[in-house]
Structures are given as structure tokens and as C-alpha cells.
Amino acid sequence: MVPHKTERGKAALRLFKCYEGCPPPYDRRKRVVVPGAMRIMCLKPGRK
């Protein structure tokens, strides 16, 4: 969460950029999954 009511938070939100979807150079590339990362994420105790 960004403290949007403080001056520091307002400055951070001014610099923040958000995009919807996948940017043009990567939208045509094949998407890959890293099995090692998925294994750790699924097996970590306490994950929902």
C-alpha cells in the first residue's frame, strides 16, 4: 500500500505508471513457466 495522503506518497503515485495487458515487443513471444519457481511457491508452508 502507498501512503497516498502524505507528500511522499503523492510524489510516488505521480511517478507510477501502469499498463494493461502485455507490451508490444513481448505480446507475440511464447510465454514460459519456470517449474522450480512454481514448486517453491506451491510447497511453501503457510501459503493459501
State mean pLDDT over 19-31: 88
Gap between the Cα atoms of 37 and 41, Å rounded: 6
More reliable by pLDDT, 39 or 13 = 13
More reliable by pLDDT, 35 or 44 = 35
Cell digits for 12? 510516488
In a domain? residue 13: yes
pLDDT at 47 over 70: no
Domain residues for the domain of 16 are: 7-43
In a domain? residue 30: yes
CB distance 9 to 2 below 8 Å? yes
In a domain? residue 39: yes
In a domain? residue 31: yes
State mean pLDDT over 33-47: 76
> What is the tally of structural domains in the chain?
1
| C-alpha distances in Å from residue 41, one per residue of 11, 31, 32, 33, 36 | 33, 19, 16, 13, 9
Place of cell 511453501: 44
